[in-house]
Amino acid sequence: MRPQGAARLRPRPILALVAANLRRLSRDKVGLFFMVIMPFVNLAFVGMALGGGAVGAAKLPVGVVAPSSDPVAAAVLKELRAHPDLAITSVATKQDLRSGVREGSLAAGVVIPTGSTRLELVMTQVNGSGMAARSAVDVAVGRVAAVLEATRAVEAAGATPAQAAARVREAQAESGRVSVVGSGTSGATPRGFAYTAPGNLLLFTFINSMAVAAALAESRRLGMLQRALTAPVRRRSVLAGEALSRFVVAVAQSLLIMVVSSLVFGVSWGDPLGVAAVVGAFSLVATGAAILVGSLVRAPSQAPAIGPPLGIVLGMLGGCLWPRESAGDFLNSLGHLFPHAWGMDALLALTRPGAGIGTVLPELAVLSGMAAGLLGLSLFLFNRRSC
Amino acid sequence: MTATLACAGLSKRFGDVLAVQDVGFAIEPGEAYGLLGPNGAGKTTTISMLVGLLKPATGNVLVCGTDLAAEPMAAKAKIGYVPQEIALYPELTGRENLRFFGRLFGLPRRALAARIDEVLDLVGLSDRADGKLGAYSGGMKRRINIGAALLHRPEVLILDEPTVGVDPQSRKAILDGVERLVADGMALLYTSHYMEEVERVCDRVGIIDHGRIVAEGTRHELVAMVGSADTIELMLDGDVDGAFDKLQALEGVIEAVRTGTGSVRLLAEGGRYVLPAIIAAVDGRATVIAVEVIEPDLEATFLHLTGSKLRD
């Protein structure tokens, strides 16, 4: 009965490794908790803290000190009141405004001086809702500025102020008809879940990829790869099987966060092709980093001690944990040495209307380069140290 | 007949150390070959070259006539290698571990489940197959470790110290299983620290020391290298002095020593065959109440050839 089998063997090393590694992961209850539950706990809490919420959630309270007679002030106030995310309160003095912001009863404050277009914004730097309020104020002010600018241009062309105002109103109405869908959100930095969902995707995809590095180190320690190479398989198939196992986990983690955040938190991710490309490239980066850690550690227990803390620090630098506007330029520049910042740039850019894969080509190029470098280095080391 | 596993002129150097030097042997189908050597003698290096994990500096390996260096995939498909360490996933069950190796070797999808059941039966773990490997005893892990190398029905099984840290029940199951496979025609390469296992399982033995094969032959041939005299321990009752005189004069007895008031030790050629003469010689003077014949064993040969005990 013995000899018959040998001739019909069709080795399936990649399938064997991926299936075994995924099954191993499915037995790791702590690992699964961090993959399946933790991202959404984080998403829910941080999203709410940053002023997100499902439809009908509380608006951001913004205080305004404005002279009632000034036309510019009136225009700005009108725009601010029209903003769907803001609740505008008139405040008597600048001092009251400051104390309101300091105490947290106001997310931000705007002081509109009489006869000047230099508005003063009062906010605390570290507060997420302050950041969100600021972007909303920016949008409103930008609109008024555009109207003023247009009016000045029409007047310069020879019209009277009254004619100019009428022309601009017409133009506004026209553009309002044309771009009525996007007018509420376009140009604004996403806030709430729209910001935290991409942040969590990158954060958890990376951290959980790093956590599976322990399983890789365990495979090395057990001599599984050595043994696999005594089967009629090629070395590169074994390496590919190990790499694909980690990549599948990274992609699954990303998909889970995308699906749940869209269905439960109403997050819209933007152009599917662009998102797929960015998430794919980032998952490759995470795979490379996981294999690198899995190859370098001496004992499997070292991987969870190194990987997740590294993932958290890189996530902080990349703006996955709090809005990058609240970090300084130095931190943001530092962040762009690592993949998370590029991933955030790309995913946020894709949420803007009209953005597609073409919009994020530079970010994609950087992420792909990082992925290629990390995968090359890590597979080289992994091959040398474990096979 | 083509040998199932043949190697010739194998050498491997690690830095300044010549780990293996001109090693060669051949194993026929249905033959069990034992590789004996002290720690660091070059056993594991030799095996690593035989299974394709290390490239030999010189020499070649043929598996059923297929050159391992020229056609590694075809040659490896005929080898079942069981490493010394337990190389299995502890998070998976015994059956899932076997499925992994079955896929790795490329067993046809449909045949795999049935073959896994066969192998589980062979290693005596059918009833424990769906428990997590991490919860198995050392012996059960060893049995799955061996089973993983049998799924693809190899022509030659290579066992590197398969019974280290194993309870007596598992050891018996392993040795019985291995003997059955050899009886069915599989070739076997076996290394062990346990001399009695090698004596029991192997038809031929190569003794390796300092990277060289210093002696090779059947168990009897090797033992004969250090002389064929057996030791016979006798317990006598009655006229022990008179019986001792008779025994000293007996043909075939090389030496006789009184080791106690009622005990005598004899050194004799072909111990078993002199026993009737011994009993006849003491008849009427004393009664033999106990006798033990100790034949020279591989341990003695090994000590003689390598100057070191096997279990250092």
Is B74 at the interface with chain A, CB within 8 A?
yes
Contact: A13, B76; criterion CB under 8 Å: no
Task: Identify the weakest region by mean pLDDT among A20-29, A297-306, B116-125, B301-310.
Answer: B301-310
Closest CA in chain B for residue A19 = B100
For an interface test with A, which of B100, B132, B146 has the most A Cβ atoms less than 10 Å from its Cβ? B100
B18 touches chain A (CB under 8 A): no
Of A2, A6, A20, the CB nearest to B92: A20
Say if the Cβ atoms of B104 and A16 lie within 8 Å. yes
How far is it, in rounded angstroms, from Cα A226 to Cα A238? 10
Q: Is the pTM of this model over 0.80?
A: no
Distance from the Cα of A221 to chain B's closest Cα (Å) equals 9
What was the pLDDT predicted at B253? 85
What is the band of B310 on the pLDDT scale with cuts at 50, 70, 90? low
Question: Does A101 score more than 70 pLDDT?
Answer: yes
Whether residues B108 and A232 touch (CB distance < 8 A) is answered with no
Does residue A143 have a pLDDT over 60? yes
Q: Is A139 on the interface with B (CB under 8 A)?
A: no
Shortest CA distance from B153: residue in chain A: A2
ipTM of the complex: 0.79
User: Taking a C-beta distance cutoff of 8 angstroms, is the pair A205, A345 a contact?
Assistant: no
pLDDT exceeds 70 at position A35: yes
Query: How far apart are the CA of B17 and the nearest CA of chain A, in angstroms?
Result: 21
Mutation for testing the A interface, residue in B98, B99, B105, B153 having most A CBs under 10 Å: B105
Which one of A24, A216, A230 makes the best mutation probe of the B interface by having the most chain B beta carbons within 10 Å? A230
Q: Select the more confidently predicted residue: B145 or A131.
A: B145
Q: What is the largest CA-CA distance in chain B?
A: 77
- CB of A31 within 8 Å of a chain B CB? The answer is no
- Name the range with the highest mean pLDDT among A32-41, A82-91, B80-89: B80-89
**pLDDT confidence of residue B86:** 93
pLDDT over threshold 50, residue B260:
yes
User: What pLDDT does residue B186 have?
Assistant: 95
Per-residue confidence (pLDDT) for residue A8, from 0 to 100 = 65
**Structure token digits, residue A188:** 């604004």
DSSP chain B: ---SEEEEEEEEEETTEEEEEEEEEEE-TT-EEEEE--TTSSHHHHHHHHTTSS--SEEEEEETTEETTT-HHHHHTTEEEE-SS--S-TTSBHHHHHHHHHHHHT--HHHHHHHHHHHHHHTT-GGGTTSBGGGS-HHHHHHHHHHTTTTT--SEEEEESTTTT--HHHHHHHHHHHHHHHHTT-EEEEE-S-HHHHHHH-SEEEEEETTEEEEEEEHHHHHHTT--EEEEEEEEEE-HHHHHHHHHHSTTEEEEEE-SSSEEEEEEETHHHHHHHHHHHHTTTEEEEEEEEE---HHHHHHHHHSS-TT-
A28 in contact with B, Cβ within 8 Å: yes
Decide if B242 touches A, using CB distance below 8 A: no
